[in-house]
Every structure is written in structure tokens, then in C-alpha cells.
Structure 1
């Protein structure tokens, strides 16, 4: 398990294996496929005429349907010969993934552009279901160097570009400024979780809220946000391909989290959406995506503060993961559709578009040259998320590259945080599950 391989060098991943049951439970697709993505050649689009119509499959991340419609309207004005049909392909990333997989298996109509999340897109790359974008980058002169490096690099594997960043985010620490003031606390996020543990009893006593802090809903969030806790304690889900979720550091981090709920009594776990619980005043603080920022600011009846994620007893900085989605183009459509899709993808990720999208949702502006002046004047909190990009850390391999691992992590977190299960035993069992996925479905496909 101690392989130290560059994250770019993969062949195809075959099936869901040990994660299949979890995927099925969440409505996720299988990952069967026979075409190694690394064999995909750069596509030549010279002499190709763009298709007259394409579908854009999205789940409207960050409640972005209105801004997506606005950007598409601007696209139609500039490119009247290409019609983009906005399709709600699911309520979340998993539902889009299911629809995308089902449509390919049934040989049904595929989209021109599809939203692919951080934990789903890689399996489509590995199965050859999406094309490398390098040919389109050349043909359409897409300024890849102008994208935020930490965001665009997430989609570069085998020396090819497989998607462009779209609804990208980091978690933020959200806090109720009014509660913090009433408790006599500084108007800032805590520097470490240990500092917050000192603040929490004061918050609980003075705020009238049910919790001083609420952990994000575990389904879809546990594997992502708990990386912050694990990293702060010096642990992780994995170190490269070594699964170490049962290390002393990882166990200590999750034991602390469990104690904050059951022993110390100042924390809880959101049942559905932590940002909504926070905006409703149920908790004085939480961690949630930057994509929730605009919604929280609109809904909350109090002064909202945001800050960097807290560190832990061993690591105080570089404890924030990136996340979210990118835009990819299917391999199972014609070159004409792919070229039209590339034209739209370029427009959708231009500096003006990404600034408009960020202003409407709170997601990161993915382009360096995006003019955020008016956006930040109206919503200065977005700058905190932008500044935090410089101290983000690449997600653990186990979360983003093992099929079904995210669901397994959520199940383990539920045992620990909602059932008060034994932390060491739960993490040991999770390690066994993750190693099984790696050994069966990933290791045989890695380049030597």
C-alpha cells in the first residue's frame, strides 16, 4: 500500500468493487469501462463545423440556475448559430453522475457539456467517457494559464486537460458575529479547534442557540470537510496510496470531534444542510462551502462572519481542501457537438462569466483576470474565500480516487458522530474497506 506515485499517472479504473453497495445506496453509477483514458489522443478539430445545438447538463450548483440562464443568453447573443439547451440533469452531483452513466449504457442522447464533481469526474476520465480538452484548447485559444493554478490543475492527468473548473469552492468557517460579540469573543474565526473549544462554552451559555458549532451533514460532506480535522491533528484519510485513516493522529482527531458532541456537549451534526441550520440561528458556527455564502447572507437575520478553517494541535495552516465541480465534454458525441460544446465551455469559463457566476453564488472566480471589484464591493466576504486559496491542500487520494470511498467515509463518520461508535474500531474497519477498493479496482490499473 505504500506506493508513492504521481497523481497524474493512471490507466483506467475498472469497477466500483467494494464501494458498489454504497454507490447503489446513493444512486451512484457503476464505473465499468474498458477504454483506458491514457490512450486517448488529442482530437483534431480543424475543418469541423460546430453543431447547431447542444445540451448542457447541470445540477445548478449553488442555486445557480438563474445565472446559468443569464450566461447562456449572453452566449446566444455572441454565437447565434449554436443553441445551448439548459438541462436540469439532477438535484446533486450524484444524480448527474447516474444520469450520465445510464445514458451511455443505454446509448441515449448525451450532453455536449456536463457538470462533473471532484469525486465523480475521475472515473469518467479513467473509463474514456470524457475527452481530453487539449485539442479544443488549441483550436479555440482557451487561456488555460489564466485559470487559478490550484483549481485547473485538479483536472490535469496523464499530461492532458480533462475538464475546466466551474463551481469550485473551499469550505469556510461561518460564524454568527452577534453571538460572538455577546459571548465576549473576538470578531474572527478561531485559529485552531483548541481555541474554539475554549470559546464554545461561552457561546453555548450566552447565545441561546442549540449548538456552538454544528458539523456539516455527513452524506456528501464528511469525507471532504473532515479532512480539515484530520490534517490539523497530523492525520489524513490516506498518504498518497497508503490508507492511514486508522493512524493514532486520525483517531485522535475524530475522538476529539466525537467528544465535542457527547462529552463536552457544545456541538451537533446537521441532518440535512449545515448552512441552513446556521442561517436559521440553530448554531453559532459551522463549516460550509463557499457556494453557500450568498444563500446564507440572504437568509440570515444576523451579522455573518467568515474565516479560514481552523487548524489543529499539530498543523495550523494548509488545512483547507478545495472541492466542487468542473465542466467536461463526453467522448460519445460527434466532433461537431464537441466543438460546439468547447465553444460554450470557453464562454462559460471566461473571466466575465466566472465573475458573474461567483457574484451570484459565492463560488470561486476560477480565472485570475476576473474583475471582482464590483462583486467584492457588494459581498466582501468572498475575498476571504479567495485569500484562502493560497493555503489550500490537495485532497487525499482515498477520497477522490477510490470509487465509493466518499460514501464509506460518510458511513464511518456517522458511526462516530451520530452513534458514538468506537473511533479506533470504526477507523480500522474503514481502512480495510478502502484498502479493498484500492487493491481490487485501482492498484492493478496504476502505471508502474
Structure 2
């Protein structure tokens, strides 16, 4: 069973988050035993079972059930290591709990850290460099390299990809057929918006599309569209670019989509899509399992719409080991991570949840290819993966950058404010935060 934790207060401001991390940095399925995952000598020499505390956001639903099965399978496969999972409600709660724990000493050995959080803990030197512990048996070269290398900094490896995802375009195929619209309209944002009135009037839905808010990762799912229109949130050197012409054009295009009445803004786009309120939605590949299990209509998936070009980012979470963990727990943690991300287990996890297989051998395996043949919605996600890019630094490396950008999108889409005005304000808010991060990086990496 996964033990629930009470969520502690979340550090809500970028300044508060930065201060907390600075303080934290100062504190420094079967039962057959597996021979492949036998514990190394460092663990065996302790003479007792090593218990690993693992903090995760997968405590319920399809993803929670899949992770519970994975942990139970690992625990049953050997006797030297026992993983004790503790679940909170989302990625942000894991990070908040960890910020507090680094100051009180109440920390896990392993944590599931999202795309917008792992780097902050890297800057506070709270994560172990896994490079010295990577063995030839782990076959690091077999990981999908675009996902694996995202956790590399200054020659170190600070997490291993696990629940990795990308945004995916979901559409109600019954509505599309009823409206007499070709799915080809979803190839570009402009043709999709043009077809929206027919999808609504003939398809029988309230809106063609639903945008979420900052809390529902609005800045993440709209990252790809910004690229599609030729824009960026920022460049690799933390120069904020969203207020430039392509970013403004993206904002105005989406604002018109909403103000025309053809798209709506909601708290949780996935729920409205499942309930038949909208014809289409952008959601995580990690939502594929839950949408498949709950939707009562025929839905299909597609690559994200293009405009000037294709744009889609990566996302999701990786498994990190705490720098302060004793050596035997670090070794045990890596064995757990190796198990979770093995060819067999990442295949099972991906098929159950919709998250990406994180190994090339898993994607190419006969079992996975047979599954994808039977589940074309999952194949879409896997085939889109090579076209994706790592996210812009403004969202993933600037503390609270995701929320700052997300609130900007809310101003444009919910409050109907001009994109140029909003993005100028967002730029001014992000600039000092970017400078602070650059100073931290310089101090840490030289």
C-alpha cells in the first residue's frame, strides 16, 4: 500500500522558493527472486534489509495502481531492499515536502521530481551525482538519449528518466465524424480554428477546444504551440523571448480562439474532454491511461498541430537520489531505479499509463510493437517523441517560471488582455529571476 502524506504549505513565491532552496542547500508483479537485480556487496554487507523511503505523486488512479504494482514486484524480487512509498497529490507537493524536509532533516532517499523541479534541487546540491554508480549492466546508452541527457549538468547525471511524457493532441472521433469534418484539420492550428464552428454546431459540443490554467500546466501544453508559431519562451542563455513578435502572435491567435466562443478556459481540460464538453484537448501522454479507462466515446490521438513548423516539448518526471543519503541507501536506490527503468518494466509501465518507454530497447521490443499495433493512440505518442525538444529555460530552470508563464496565459485567455501587454509584463517578472539563477549556476559550475 502507498502511505499518504499530509501536504505541507507550498512555497508560493519565487523569492520564497529560492530562499528555501538556498537554506536546503546549506543543510547539505511476480514473486520470483530476480538474479539480475540482486543487491550489490555494499548492501549485502549491511546484514539486514535496506529500507528506502520513496516520495512520489502517484498514489491513486491508473498511474498509482501501476506504480504500486511496480514497487510490489521489486520488493518481491529480492530480500535486501524494501521500498516504502509515500504519496502526495502532485509533483508540486513532492517538491514542497522536500523543500521543508531538507531544512528539518525529514527527507526521502529517492524522489520523483518533475521537469520544473529537479534543477532547483540540483542548484541546492541536494541531489546525488549518479555517474559514479552507473554500471555497465544499466546500459546507459540504451536510455532514450533526449530524455536521459536532460538530467546532465557539468559532467554529472542527477536523475534517471522514468515517468516521461510529452503533450499529445486528443480528439473526439465521434464528434469529428458527426460534424463531417476531416481529421486533417488538426494538422495546423489555423485549419483547426477554422473548423471549430462546424465541430460545435454539427458535432454537438460546447467548444472545439479547452485551455487550462496555470495549475493545470497551461504553460507546458502551450509551449509547443509557441514553437509552432516560431516563438520561444526564452533561449538557452535565459534571455526572455516570449514578448517578441512570434510569441505575441501565438498569444493573439489563442486569445481570438477563446474570444470567438470556439474555445473555452477551464480548470481541468481533461475532465471536460472526458465529459464530452469539448472536441479536442492537449493533454499529457501520461493521461492516456486514465482517458482510455474513463472516456465513453471513441477518441483518437494526433501529433500536435503545426503552424509555421512543428513544436512539441518533453515533460514528466525522473527519479533522483538524495545527496545526503548513506552510501548503502544510494546503492539500493540505484538498484530500484534500474529495476523501474529496465526494458521489461518501462514497457509495462508505459503500456499501463501512457508515459513514454524510456529505453530504446523497450520501444523496439516485439512486445511493445505488438501493443502499439493494437493501441494506435499509444503509437502516436511514441512516434511523436523523436520530434520533440527539451523545454526552454524560462519554464524549467527559473524558479516559479512555469507559474509566471502560466499566469500570463491566464491573463490572455481568461481576462482577454492583449498578448503584447501581458508578455511584456511577464518578461519583466522573469528577468530578475533569470539573473538569480545564472548567478547560482556560475557559483556552482564556474
Tell me the TM-score range normalised by the shorter chain.
Answer: 0.7 to 0.9
Q: Is the 8 A contact 2:131 2:157 kept in 1?
A: yes
**Is structure 2 residue 24 aligned with structure 1 residue 30?**
no
Q: What residue is the counterpart of 1:221 in the other structure? A: 217
Q: CA deviation at 1:377?
A: 4.5
1:124 alignment counterpart: 121
Whole-angstrom CA distance in 2 between matches of 1:23 and 1:352: 40
Do residues 79 (structure 1) and 78 (structure 2) align? yes
Q: Deviations over 1:326-377 (max 9, x none)?
A: 0000011111111111111110111111111111111101111113135324
- The alignment status of 1:403 with 2:399, answered yes or no, reads yes
C-alpha contact (below 8 Å) 1:168/1:326 kept by paired residues: yes
Flag the structure with higher helix content.
Answer: 2
Q: CA deviation at 1:393?
A: 1.6
Q: Give the counterpart of 2:255 among 226, 233, 258.
A: 258
Deviations 1:102-134 (A, max 9, x none): 1110012x2221100000000111111010111
In structure 2, distance between residues paired with 1:20 and 1:435: 20
Coordinate RMSD, CA, aligned: 2.3
Q: 2:274–2:296: 8 Å Cα contact kept in structure 1?
A: yes
Question: Which residue of structure 2 lines up, in the alignment, with residue 391 of structure 1?
Answer: 387
Question: Closer, same or farther in 2 for the Cα pair 1:206/1:29, shift >3 Å?
Answer: farther
Whole-angstrom distance in 1 between the partners of 2:64 and 2:228 = 36
Corresponding residue of 1:337:
329
Partner residue, 2:32? none
Deviation string for 1:250-281 (max 9, x for gaps)?
1111011011111x21001121x212211110
Aligned residue among 424, 436, 439 for 1:440? 436
**Aligned pair partner of 2:98 in 97, 100, 103:** 100
Which residue of structure 2 aligns with residue 48 of structure 1? 42
* Aligned partners of 1:29 and 1:102 also within 8 Å: no
TM-superposed CA distance for 1:228, in Å, is 1.6
Query: 2 CA distance for matches of 1:141 and 1:112?
Result: 22
Give 5+ residue unaligned stretches, structure 1: 1-18, 37-44
Aligned pairs, number: 413
SS in 2 for 1:83: strand
CA drift of 1:214 comes to: 0.8
Q: Aligned to 1:59, which of 57, 68, 78?
A: 57
Q: Which runs of 5+ in 2 are unaligned?
A: 1-9, 27-38
User: Which residue number corresponds to residue 42 of structure 1?
Assistant: none
Q: TM-score, normalised by structure 1?
A: 0.87
Q: 1:444 to 1:71 in 2, by over 3 A?
A: closer
Tell me, yes or no, if the aligned pair for 1:173 and 1:189 is still in contact at 8 Å. no
1:291 to 286, 291, 305: 286
Of the three residues 427, 433, 437, the one matched with 1:431 is 427
Q: Is the 8 A contact 1:216 1:288 kept in 2?
A: no
Cα distance in 1 for residues equivalent to 2:441 and 2:154: 13
Q: Given the two structures, how large is their TM-score scaled by the length of structure 2?
A: 0.87
Describe the superposition over 1:416-445 as per-residue Cα deviations: whole angstroms up to 9, x where unpaired. 111112321111010001101012332463
For the 8 Å contact 2:174–2:297, the answer to whether it is kept is: yes
Residue aligning to 2:297: 302
Please identify runs of 4+ aligned residues in structure 1 that moved more than 4 A: 33-36
Q: Match for residue 207 of structure 2?
A: 211
Contact 1:212 1:266 in 2 (8 A): yes
Aligned-residue offset at 1:295: 1.2
State the shift of 1:245 in Å: 1.1
Contact persistence 1:71–1:348 (CA under 8 A): yes
- Superposed, 1:313-352 pairs within 5 Å as 314-315=308-309, 317=310, 319-352=311-344
Offset of residue 190 of structure 1? 1.3
> 1:235, 1:245 within 8 Å by CA — same for their partners in 2?
yes
From 101, 105, 109, give the equivalent of 1:112. Answer: 109
1:198 and 1:367, CA in 2 relative to 1: closer, same or farther beyond 3 A?
A: same
Distance in 2, Cα, partners of 1:329 & 1:29: 22
Tell me the distance in 2 between the aligned counterparts of 1:297 and 1:47.
43
C-alpha contact (below 8 Å) 1:233/1:250 kept by paired residues:
yes
**1:277 corresponds to:** 272
Offset of 1:20 from its aligned partner?
A: 6.9
Query: SS of the counterpart of 2:187?
Result: coil
Q: CA deviation at 1:189?
A: 6.3
> Which residue among 355, 360, 363 is the counterpart of 1:368?
360
Can you list the C-alpha shifts for 1:195-221, whole angstroms capped at 9, x where unaligned?
A: 101211110111221101111333241
Paired position in structure 1 for 2:3: none
| Aligned counterpart, 1:40 | none
> Bigger relative contact order, structure 1 or 2, given CA contacts below 8 A and separation 6+?
1
Question: After the TM superposition, which residues 95-244 of structure 1 pair with which residues of structure 2 at under 5 Å, given as runs?
Answer: 95-108=93-106, 110-138=107-135, 141-188=137-184, 190-240=186-236, 241-244=238-241
In the TM superposition, what whole-angstrom CA distance separates every residue of 1:378-430 from its partner, at most 9, and x where no partner exists?
A: 43311110000111022111111111111111111111111112321111010
Residues 1:444 and 1:67: Cα distance change in structure 2 (over 3 Å): closer
* Distance in 2 separating the partners of 1:444 and 1:377: 47
Secondary structure of the structure 2 residue equivalent to 1:219: helix
- What is the rounded CA distance, in whole Å, between the counterparts of 1:35 and 1:100 in structure 2? 12
Contact 2:167/2:312 (CA < 8 Å) preserved in 1? Answer: yes
